[in-house]
A and B are shown apart, each in its own frame.
Chain A
Amino acid sequence: QVQLQESGPGLVKPSETLSLTCAVSGGSISRGNWWSWVRQSPGKGLEWIGEIHQSGSTNYNPSLKSRVTILVDKSKNQFSLNLRSVTAADTAVYYCATGHSYAWFDWGQGSLVTVSS
């Protein structure tokens, strides 16, 4: 079991880029898991954003793929999310998570991001 902690701005202006970081502790990000971002908004429920492997391979939700980049920084044992051209519809609680067997066993506590001018 690892501990995950999201960090980043709580307020982002429309059309700008949302950037969050997930710090991993209690284990190495290089151990071979896939590391994911999931968000939750009242209007759309839980939505998977994308994932990254320690090798740098990524998979993205097709509905967000054109705006999302997930990167891994093994030297800092963390991974990050960039979501471009945000609108109010991107207001949500953003979680980082990891696991295996196509399920997420470990989650961060979540970071509320509001898109507003």
Chain B
Amino acid sequence: EIVLTQSPGTLSLSPGERATLSCRASQTVSSNFLAWYQQKPGQAPRLLIYGASSRATGIPDRFSGSVSGTDFTLTINRLEPEDFAVYFCQQYGRSTLYTFGQGTKLGIK
């Protein structure tokens, strides 16, 4: 089973700063199969990035995704007040199919 480990668990930043969120896979994950979601309290997850670096429709360009080996990164430039939320990564693999990371909570400093 591919395990996704997100870090940090909690990140405290101020509006206008840059957030860098990490998602490390325990095995090789195809870039095509990695997605990032944002979730706010009481809401369903919202897709931000799919295929490691493609933004979903309507997602501002301050959100970007990248990959280096088994390390995936979600970068949020110029944080807006509405960006403070929990972020999850998710992968697809042949054996266990879909799994999620445990999440990173982005809070206001």
Interface residues of A (CB under 8 A from B): 1, 36, 45-48, 51, 59, 61-62, 95, 97, 99, 101-105, 107-110
Q: How far is the CA of A110 from the CA of B44 in the complex (A)?
A: 7
Which among B13-21, B72-80, B93-101 touches the partner chain?
B93-101
- Pick the contact of B88 from A46, A61, A102 — CB < 8 Å? A46
CB distance B100 to A47 under 8 Å? yes
Kindly list chain A residues whose C-beta atoms are within 8 Å of the C-beta of B103.
45-46
Interface residues of B (CB under 8 A from A): 32-33, 35, 43-47, 50-51, 54, 56-57, 88, 90, 92, 95-100, 102-103
CB distance B32 to A101 under 8 Å? yes
6 closest A-B pairs by CB: A103-B50, A48-B98, A103-B35, A107-B44, A102-B92, A46-B100
